[in-house]
Structure 1
Amino acid sequence: MVISERDNATSRFEKCCLHDLMRELCMSKAKEENFLSPSAHPQSLSVSQRFFTHDPYTLDVEREINNSKVRSLVVVQKVVLPNSWMFARNWKLSSIIFTRLQLLRILHVYKAEFEGRKLPDSIGKLIHLRYLNIEAAGVSHLPASLRNLKLLIYLNLNVNNSFTFVPNVLMEMIGLRYLILPETMNMKTKLELSQLVKLETSENFSTVLQFRGSPWYGQIEDPCGLGRLENLTVDYYGAKGRQEWIILDFNNLRELSLSIKIMLSAQLQFPSRITRLSLEFCSLVEDPMPVLEKLSQLKFVTLGSHSFLGRRMVCSAGGFPQLQKLELFGLVELEEWIIEEGSMPVLHTLQIDGCKKLNKLPDGLQLITSLKKLTLRVMGNQWNERLSEGGEDYYKVQHIPSVSV
């Protein structure tokens, strides 16, 4: 009845979908009970415990939701064109929902906007909440009453505002497993997360601990107690001046994405179990491969824009024993790439994009017999001829079933 899919990097079940027959049965039953479109039958709202709408601009909570026993309120926006949700305008949401619907377990209000751009203190009355999502909401200030939401499992605070104030109360949500913080937080924000012992995924992890005039200084340390953290994303754009960043032992971390300046040395210790790694804007001067290829569990690696500023990169024999996919994006200074025999023995996908100074593919590419797909982008028209049959580099790629330029 339910088809599940595992994530290639973590081997955990990440997605599921209904079998077609089961989906049709569910849709039919939902229509009978007005589950998907309650506004079509206002009478049903007095008994329905779930409210869903994809037209927030006409939503009137005070008029439309009269049942105080509503458990689920989900407001999304209809997508007409691809990525059109990015340009949708905010919509007004009355704070009355927090006083009227105190039995809510699920609250999802994408791009909502509250009076004064402040999330009302009364949200603290929703003590039964397990899921709270205010992504892209027009909010600049979050209240301390959030500490009352002790049963939360999922919390998305990635609101649409520069320098959002987040009170230091999240540590009291000891059941949290999924946490997304605002991309930019107020200077006064300093969060303690050490008590979130069940946390598995954290995005937009705070990197700014203090401001010392100019430049910025920051440090990432392993907060004691985050032993179950498996997915961590750290972004810090627009930084200037000298920065030193440290990652300490997140023992169970599987996926790590860094968009900050770092130093690849003894001061930077990647977790040994990591399977997926993405680096961007790291401004590395030294070749990162000697460090990364020793991470024996790595399956997916992305070196993004300005992650590496050097001219030469070497993948040595025996390195990356489990690497399946490698992406090189925007390494604008890279001129020479060497792949030694025995490196990346199970690699099946390679993508190179925007590496404009890389004038030839490494000879060692022909030794990776597992390679199934090669994609080259923004590297000049001459590559079509060089990689075509009879071309000077054809011998390097002739064993690859799919080559796209």
Structure 2
Amino acid sequence: MGQEPLMDVAERYLEELAKRCMVEIEAHDERKHAVTRLKSCRLHDLVRDLCLVKAKEENLYKMVDKRTSRDFSPAIDAHYGLVFRLDVKDISEPNFPPKEQTKHLRSFLCDLLQDNWEIFQGGLDVLSRVLFSRNIHELEIDRSLCKKLPDYQSHIFPDPAGLTQLKLHTNNIEEDPMGTLEKLPNLRIPELGPNSFLGQEMTCHSIGFPQLQHLVLNFLGNLKQWKVDDGAMPKLSSLRIEYCTKLEMIPDGLRCLTNLKEISLLEMPEKFNNRVRIENGQQGKDYDKISHVPLVNIRRGLDVLSRVLFSRNIYELEIDRSLCKNLPDYQSNIFPDPAGLAQLKLHTTNIEEDPMGTLEKLPNLRILELRPNSFLGEEMTCHSIGFPQLQHLVLNFLGNLKQWKVDNGAMPKLSSLRIEYCTKLEMIPDGLRCLTNLKEISLLEMPEKFNNRVRIENSQQGKDYDKISHVPLVNIRRTSRDVKTVWALSYFVPDRRVVFYETKSFDAMAQRIAHEKRLLVDFRRIHLFEIDDDEDY
């Protein structure tokens, strides 16, 4: 491969599979792709059918659909995978398959087919069969099966449980799950995800978790106290605690974990973090509990954003919800390798300070979309020589934005701009007149006062018309709230600006088209829209 980028190698392999009719691939629009030319990949129907036939021949899985069948097949088969679907009326009687049918079970999916369902009576039995199976090594449980985990009793399950990795998410367990999990003899990686445990106290007892190596506690919103007895988790090497905002302190027992090499404390309260820090030569109250650990990461929003925004390996990134009030500064001395990010979407990030000061320094950014409530400020500036590679920019639902300034030399390669629902924006930036590569502007659902500044109405140019007169195509669309249907026309001709015209009457639109054809000998293109007031653009 030499110096060939990995993305190009992956595309080449996919194209080779497509030539052999193994997969179907779809390419991006040539103007829109940022990183990869390929948009999606899927199996041909015949290939999928062949995979299903071979899986059935090898007895790899079985689907039990309780919506159509009340009982299991009388045939006793040993299955390696089970898809178990329950209808609402089956919640209290899951009728898990007999042991003979699941003795080789390695994977299990339980789909309860409804959004708001109650705890069902068979939950403990189902959990016992999958948690304590000797053949299931990795297990993820999403949604609640019962209010507590079943007890691990060796006389009922004589074969050692084979589970090595467990992820719990939204299980709403009310009793401390550690009493069960610590008895699993081969468990190495448990992750307690958001709302997996609703209680306030958790205890890891002595000699519990004999093989545990990595532990994750994430979004346990009620957890206040966590106790670790001497002798618990003797092989633990990494610990991550994230968004456990009520946890009061690090457990005393961590000082006895001699194999612990890394601790990550992510998005924890400052009060919690200060207990394990050294500030101005002063040790925090809990510093001695983890002083023996070689690596301790304490990160909040800015640190996380820095790692992903400025990574040389991340090419496409979408951030939804808030991490911090401002973006971190891009400092080349801290990040010596150029950031690889080519496409960025921000949504509901609630950033208060102008994000352009950071984003314009990303050397490879080509597509930037600032979506609803990504930026809450009133002013935004794109500085000279900023955004050297930017080609497509979207500003959508920035409800507070009033002024946007573009300096000369900013965004030299910008080819398309879309401004949508920025209802307080006062005008188009003066700097757009310097963007010689700008080919298309879309102004969607903007106020009439804003639109009138860039239009020609009755042969009168709007105040900002000259700022975008060089742009070949400008679409101005606004939904009519008065009538069901509006006909809208936009067109452009050589050496003239795009003109936009809308009317309630199709006949009036036809007359307008005829009139323009008579006046404009070099008429090139018409865009005719039938705009429905219920339509989303």
Q: Same fold (TM over 0.5)?
A: yes
Structure-to-structure mapping, 1:3-402, within 5 angstroms:
16-29=41-54, 35=61, 37-38=63-64, 42-43=73-74, 46-55=77-86, 57=88, 58=90, 63-66=96-99, 67-78=102-113, 87-92=115-120, 93-94=123-124, 95-98=127-130, 100-114=132-146, 117-120=147-150, 122=152, 127-129=162-164, 132=166, 134-140=168-174, 143-144=177-178, 157-159=193-195, 172-174=212-214, 181-182=218-219, 184=221, 186-188=223-225, 205-206=242-243, 208=245, 217=270, 246-247=303-304, 250=307, 254=314, 255=317, 257=319, 259-263=322-326, 273=339, 275=341, 276=344, 278=346, 280-284=348-352, 286-299=353-366, 301-303=368-370, 307-323=374-390, 326-347=393-414, 352-365=419-432, 367=435, 369=437, 374=442, 376-377=444-445, 379-380=446-447, 392=462, 396=468, 398-400=471-473
Task: State how far apart, in whole Å, the 2-side matches of 1:205 and 1:373 are.
Answer: 43
Once the 2 structures are TM-superposed, how far is the Cα of residue 74 of structure 1 from its aligned partner?
A: 1.0
Once the 2 structures are TM-superposed, how far is the Cα of residue 365 of structure 1 from its aligned partner?
A: 4.3
Once the 2 structures are TM-superposed, how far is the Cα of residue 52 of structure 1 from its aligned partner?
A: 0.3
Task: State how far apart, in whole Å, the 1-side matches of 2:443 and 2:169 are.
Answer: 34
Unaligned runs of at least 5 residues, structure 2:
1-21, 154-159, 228-235, 250-268, 277-292, 479-537
Q: Tell me the TM-score normalized by structure 2.
A: 0.50
Give the 3 Å change call, closer, same or farther, for CA 399–91 of structure 1 in structure 2.
farther
Q: Tell me the TM-score normalized by structure 1.
A: 0.63
Whether the 8 Å CA contact 2:345–2:368 is kept in 1: the answer is yes
1:24 match: secondary structure: helix
Task: State how far apart, in whole Å, the 2-side matches of 1:325 and 1:77 are.
Answer: 43
Once the 2 structures are TM-superposed, how far is the Cα of residue 334 of structure 1 from its aligned partner?
A: 1.7
Task: State how far apart, in whole Å, the 1-side matches of 2:476 and 2:200 are.
Answer: 46
Task: State how far apart, in whole Å, the 1-side matches of 2:296 and 2:36 are.
Answer: 21
Structure with greater contact order relative to length (CA < 8 Å, sep ≥ 6): 1
Q: CA RMSD in A?
A: 5.4
Task: State how far apart, in whole Å, the 2-side matches of 1:163 and 1:400 are.
Answer: 59
Give the 3 Å change call, closer, same or farther, for CA 150–10 of structure 1 in structure 2.
farther
Read off the aligned partner of 1:138 and give its amino acid letter.
N
Whether the 8 Å CA contact 2:175–2:197 is kept in 1: the answer is no
Read off the aligned partner of 2:171 and give its amino acid letter.
A
Task: State how far apart, in whole Å, the 2-side matches of 1:325 and 1:156 are.
Answer: 40
1:112 match: secondary structure: coil
2:400 match: secondary structure: coil
Query: C-alpha offsets along residues 206-242 of structure 1, whole Å, 9 cap, x if unaligned?
Result: 3848779xxx647799x98799xxxx9x88xxxxxxx
- The answer for the alignment partner of 1:81 in structure 2 is none
Stretch of structure 1 that moved more, 340-349 or 69-78: 340-349
Read off the aligned partner of 2:97 and give its amino acid letter.
E
Read off the aligned partner of 1:118 and give its amino acid letter.
K
Task: State how far apart, in whole Å, the 2-side matches of 1:387 and 1:142 are.
Answer: 64
Task: State how far apart, in whole Å, the 1-side matches of 2:169 and 2:27 are.
Answer: 26
Number of matched pairs = 363
Task: State how far apart, in whole Å, the 2-side matches of 1:358 and 1:209 are.
Answer: 41
Once the 2 structures are TM-superposed, how far is the Cα of residue 376 of structure 1 from its aligned partner?
A: 3.4
Query: C-alpha offsets along residues 155-187 of structure 1, whole Å, 9 cap, x if unaligned?
Result: 682347778878899x9555x9xx893384634
- The answer for the alignment partner of 1:241 in structure 2 is none
Task: State how far apart, in whole Å, the 2-side matches of 1:226 and 1:18 are.
Answer: 44
Read off the aligned partner of 1:369 and give its amino acid letter.
N
1:96 match: secondary structure: helix
Read off the aligned partner of 1:54 and give its amino acid letter.
R
Task: State how far apart, in whole Å, the 1-side matches of 2:365 and 2:27 are.
Answer: 17
- The answer for the alignment partner of 2:252 in structure 1 is none
- The answer for the alignment partner of 1:238 in structure 2 is none
Task: State how far apart, in whole Å, the 2-side matches of 1:324 and 1:189 are.
Answer: 51
Once the 2 structures are TM-superposed, how far is the Cα of residue 307 of structure 1 from its aligned partner?
A: 5.0
Identity of aligned residues (%): 22
1:23 match: secondary structure: helix
Whether the 8 Å CA contact 2:217–2:244 is kept in 1: the answer is no
Give the 3 Å change call, closer, same or farther, for CA 97–246 of structure 1 in structure 2.
same
Stretch of structure 1 that moved more, 299-308 or 264-273: 264-273
2:468 match: secondary structure: helix
Unaligned runs of at least 5 residues, structure 1:
79-84, 236-244
Task: State how far apart, in whole Å, the 1-side matches of 2:444 and 2:360 are.
Answer: 22
Give the 3 Å change call, closer, same or farther, for CA 206–256 of structure 1 in structure 2.
farther
1:26 match: secondary structure: helix
Whether the 8 Å CA contact 2:143–2:170 is kept in 1: the answer is yes
1:103 match: secondary structure: coil
Once the 2 structures are TM-superposed, how far is the Cα of residue 103 of structure 1 from its aligned partner?
A: 1.5
- The answer for the alignment partner of 1:242 in structure 2 is none
Task: State how far apart, in whole Å, the 2-side matches of 1:302 and 1:167 are.
Answer: 45
Whether the 8 Å CA contact 2:393–2:417 is kept in 1: the answer is yes
Give the 3 Å change call, closer, same or farther, for CA 321–279 of structure 1 in structure 2.
farther
2:405 match: secondary structure: strand
Once the 2 structures are TM-superposed, how far is the Cα of residue 358 of structure 1 from its aligned partner?
A: 1.0
Whether the 8 Å CA contact 2:143–2:171 is kept in 1: the answer is yes
Read off the aligned partner of 1:73 and give its amino acid letter.
F
2:357 match: secondary structure: helix
Task: State how far apart, in whole Å, the 1-side matches of 2:417 and 2:36 are.
Answer: 21
Once the 2 structures are TM-superposed, how far is the Cα of residue 100 of structure 1 from its aligned partner?
A: 4.9
Read off the aligned partner of 1:113 and give its amino acid letter.
L
1:64 match: secondary structure: coil
